[in-house]
Amino acid sequence: MADLNRIIRRRKRQDFIFKIIGISCMLIGIVTLLALLIDLALDGLPRLTWHFLTSFPSRFASQAGILSSWVGTLLVMLVTAMTAVPLGIAAGVYLEEYARKNRLTGFIEINIANLAGVPSIIYGLMALGLLVYQFQLGQSVLAGGLTLAFLILPIVIVATREALRTIPQSMRDAAYALGSTKWQVVRHHLLPYSIGGTLTGVIIALSRAIGETAPLITIGALTFIAFLPPAPVQGEAPFVTFDWVWSPFSVLPIQMFNWVSRPDREFLANAAGAGFLLIIITLSMNAVAILIRYRVRKRIKW
Amino acid sequence: MMDMNLTDETGSGPQTQAAKEAPKPPEIAPSRETIASEATAQESFPPAKAEVRGLNFFYGKAQALKSVNLTFSENRVTAIIGPSGCGKSTLLRCFNRMHDLYPETRYEGKITLEPSGINIIGPETDPLEMRMRIGMVFQKPNAFPKSVFENVAFGLRMQGEAKSSIEEKVESALRAAALWDEVKDRMKDSAYALSGGQQQRLCIARALATDPEILLFDEPTSALDPIATARIEELIAELKEQVTIIIVTHNLQQAARVSDYTAFMYLGELIEAGPTKKIFEDPSNKLTDEYITGDFG
């Protein structure tokens, strides 16, 4: 009996030791992140004023703002979302529902997964050659948005396919048995039932794109820009213009990069302010994704 | 049993017997070796709604159905029984061309839809048309995650039914499926708020809404409790007034209760078919007898 108790005590001790190790490992990650966030907030929050949001960059740190870069970020993300989302969903639906399962589609599938792992600067190089020089798009919002669209396209495709795969075969059977065409099944069943999963993937992809710097610098996004693109909506006919897509731009992370690389330490506070805003935007996007997923899961249970 | 060309061996028992008893000309009898010939011998035989002739079916290289010949009577319930893997669901799914949705499937032979004589599995026949004319109810209730109303209306919408008549047709389908009284105040609720048995009757209503000529049931009660099962069986008995019914079932008692004719399949072949009473009380084939009495399967 004493022997048995000794063995049990030893095993319980091992259990306890591992628990301690696990907690410390987790804390290293969490605490570092929290410290970073708090440091960023302490440096940056005092700079996050209305004036900061509505001013152009300046030679003087206290005058400088992020107006052109957050507008740039917004417009670039708009182009990215408007191109990558429909393309990615359509490609995902095709691969999952229409394409025959053979070696070619298997090869395409593997490579889409691979594309998701390609370093973003490679996409920048491709965009520089293809979009900027070949298609003469220049260093424009359009070129920047398309570059990021290429970057997140594989993520959107994979998310769409994953979402489609969670729909049970019995739903497809039921719809087909009523005489639906493939498109009717996709349009009336698969897309509505998978939209939660797809949107979650899309938002996570966009929140990755919003922080990308390297590919945009590669295609030549400006680091100092003191004007806004033409407004998309105007007071006189034709009211909506797309001139803004040809405008040069900067984005928040590039603005940060610019400020951090300056010798003047005052600019560091500006970078921290912009960084804090960027983190808030990313976290809110992820929160929206979680909310959508939660609501859809409550509505549709297979 | 593994021989492909077994029509003679498997069908000959009932066929020759029937030919002797039946007052039919002998040159017709050999082609109607199954239900038709037997039925003529014993009762007045209702017109055929579908005739399966020399049907072979392949999943890739594996043959799942071997020269099946079978006649389905109009406004009657025909049950297909047999042990797992005997091909009964495969046969059922030929009728609405569900196999076309999967790669590497192949049909040989004919299934004619009477009275027009159109070949259901013919390559020239549009599977979509067949699925609109032949409804199907599946093993597990598979209502769409939409409202009760939208579930039933879906087939009508797919077929371009006029908006004005949809509401009326949804109601009559729900009445036919004996569900109207339970859901008439819950039309906008999600179908998933209904019980399993109600969901299965909703699926029946969904299939009935487009007024099909044949209704296929693929083990429709295997996921339901005994009370819900009894209601579905009652419903099937009522529905045969308006539609020809083919039901695949694992449950022999169910086949005995609901069907007018029964077909017994084994290893992809049709072993015996005839009036349900005869199959259950006095089967001609030894295999059928063993299966009915529970010796295997």
3-class state of residue B69 by DSSP: strand
State the pairing for strand pair B105-113/B269-275: unpaired
Within 8 A by CB and 6+ apart from B124, the residues are none
Min mean pLDDT across A116-125, A293-302, B37-46, B235-244 is at: B37-46
pTM (two decimals):
0.80
Q: Do B155 and A101 touch (CB under 8 A)?
A: no
Q: Chain B: give the shortest CA distance to residue A195, in Å.
A: 13
Q: Do B103 and A101 touch (CB under 8 A)?
A: yes
Most confident of A59-68, A129-138, A221-230: A129-138
Q: Do B131 and A173 touch (CB under 8 A)?
A: no
Separation of alpha carbons B106 and B96, rounded Å: 14
Are residues A230 and A249 in contact, defined by beta-carbon separation less than 8 angstroms?
no
pLDDT at position B137, please? 96
If you average pLDDT over every residue of chain A, what do you get? 88
Find, among A118, A142, A132, A134, the residue nearest to A218 by Cα: A132
Task: Find the distance separating the first CA and the last CA of chain A, reported in whole Å.
Answer: 52
pLDDT at position A100, please? 85
Structure tokens at B262: 């029964």
Residue holding tokens 């997964």? Answer: A113
Q: Chain B: give the shortest CA distance to residue A116, in Å.
A: 30
pLDDT at position A218, please? 87
Q: Which amino acid is at A120?
A: S
Helix, strand and coil percent figures for chain B, each rounded to 5:
40, 25, 35
User: What is the average pLDDT across A169-173?
Assistant: 93
pLDDT at position B19, please? 40
Q: CA B177: distance to chain centroid?
A: 17
| Nearest residue of chain B to residue A194 (CA atoms) | B145
Separation of alpha carbons A53 and A32, rounded Å: 28
Find, among A216, A238, A252, A230, the residue nearest to A143 by Cα: A216
Are residues A180 and B127 in contact, defined by beta-carbon separation less than 8 angstroms?
no
| CATH number of this structure's domain A49-299, picked from the four choices 1.10.3720.10, 3.40.109.10, 1.20.120.450, 3.40.50.300 | 1.10.3720.10
Q: Chain B: give the shortest CA distance to residue A89, in Å.
A: 21
Query: In whole angstroms, how far apart are CA A221 and each of A56, A215, B99, B167, B235?
Result: 16, 9, 54, 58, 70
**Domains of chain B and CATH, by start:** 7-292 (3.40.50.300)
Domain boundaries, chain A: 2-46, 49-299
Q: Among positive and negative, which fits the CA dihedral A82, A83, A84, A85?
A: positive
User: What is the average pLDDT across A59-70?
Assistant: 83
The complex's ipTM? 0.81
Q: Do B140 and A173 touch (CB under 8 A)?
A: no
Indicate the pLDDT class of residue A223, thresholds 50, 70 and 90.
confident
Which residues of chain B fall short of a pLDDT of 50? 1-42
pLDDT at position B297, please? 62
Separation of alpha carbons B182 and B169, rounded Å: 17
Q: Do A178 and B132 touch (CB under 8 A)?
A: yes
Q: Which of A172, A180, A300 sits opposite B158 (nearest CB)?
A: A180
User: What is the average pLDDT across A274-292?
Assistant: 89
Separation of alpha carbons B7 and B4, rounded Å: 8
Q: CA A292: distance to chain centroid?
A: 16
Structure tokens at A260: 């951090």
Choosing among A96, A172, A178, A194, which should be mutated to test the B contact, i.e. which has the most B CBs within 10 A?
A: A178
User: What is the average pLDDT across A158-167?
Assistant: 94
pLDDT at position B21, please? 43
User: What is the average pLDDT across A257-267?
Assistant: 85
Strand spans (E) along chain B: 48-59, 62-73, 77-81, 105-113, 118-119, 134-137, 214-218, 244-248, 261-266, 269-275
Residues of B whose CB is below 8 A from A105: none
Angle (CA) B207-B115-B134 rounded to 5° is 15
Separation of alpha carbons B291 and A289, rounded Å: 55
Per-residue pLDDT tens digits for A21-46: 999 999 999 999 999 889 988 988 88
Most confident of A99-108, A267-276, B276-285: B276-285
β-bridge partners, B247: B79, B217
Q: Do B145 and A170 touch (CB under 8 A)?
A: no
pLDDT at position A206, please? 92
Q: Chain A: give the shortest CA distance to residue B26, in Å.
A: 40
Q: Chain A: give the shortest CA distance to residue B136, in Å.
A: 6
Q: What angle in degrees, to the nearest 10, is found between the helix axes of A141-165 and A191-209?
A: 140
Indicate the pLDDT class of residue A290, thresholds 50, 70 and 90.
confident
pLDDT at position B195, please? 93
Q: In what order do the strands lie in the sheet with B118-119?
A: B62-73, B48-59, B105-113, B118-119
